[in-house]
Amino acid sequence: MNLKGKTAIVTGGNSGIGLAIVLELARQGANIVIDYLVHPEATEELEEQVRALGNCVIGVRADVSKVSELQSLFAQAVEAFDHVDIMVNNAGVETRTSILDTTEEQYDRVLAINLKSAFFGTQLAAQQMIKQGGGGRIINISSVHEDWPMPGNTAYCLSKGGMRMLTRTAGVELAPHGILVVGVGPGAVSTPINSVTMSDEALLKRLDASIPLGRVAKPEEIANLVAFLASDGASYLTATTVFADGGIMQSSPGL
């Protein structure tokens, strides 16, 4: 997987799965644009790690739920590196609320950060890739919950279901331009978004027991898949989601 000379934007790139993706793409030779909104100190530390790998990197503070800030993110990426070859729509949040108790504010926030940002991130990436020529890769970090209900987290599931159809439809629309659009659907991953479960021994034990492989994923395992999808090895994959869930979607109580 050689990404030498490629430029990758990773939204929500300074923590969790995004951080692991940044580091793995850098290990494969890509120049990196780290989008972040909070914790600039974490971004600065991550930039140093990328530079230590011998790669060029910039951090850009942008609220990806706002199209104007996404446009600024792309403008700064192109100014720094002249082109964008890989777009990773990774930024995401959840509220862990049900259809009965989700507020309008919670709904708007989840859909804006998870789905709106991916839609316009895909649009802007495709426009830039078409302008520069040569195709490109757009990778949407979705979830098993784009297809698998999670009661008590309804807005999140809705946003990921929307990302599923974004990936499929945009993949078909952009195929003539050589732009591949693929989703990555992680199962349970050891990241800050799952900190409540990861810090509770009983909850974690129950979660592990529900996964055929017997454990949650490491962020690096998701990042490895993203790097593959960005590489020439995935040249015939588009308009689909690759699930990395340890088999949890196929688990059964054994009736």
- What are the residue numbers of the active site? 156
129/153 Cα distance (integer angstroms)? 35
Instruction: Give the relative orientation of helices 16-27 and 219-230 as an angle to the nearest 10 degrees.
Output: 50
DSSP 214: S
Q: How far apart are CA 100 and CA 154, in angstroms?
A: 9
Q: Which residue has the tokens 């809705």?
A: 158
Cβ neighbour number for residue 66 with a 10 Å cutoff: 14
Side-chain half-sphere of 205: how many Cα atoms within 13 Å? 3
231 burial type by CB count under 10 A (0-12 exposed, 13-18 middle, 19+ buried): middle
Copy the structure tokens of residue 87.
Answer: 């777009």
Q: Which of 161, 156, 138 is nearest to 239 (CA)?
A: 138
How far, rounded to the nearest angstrom, does the alpha carbon of residue 229 sit from its chain's CA centroid? 12
**Helices and strands, counts by H and E, the chain:** 9, 7
SS3 7: strand
Helix segments in 84-182, DSSP class H: 104-111, 117-132, 154-174
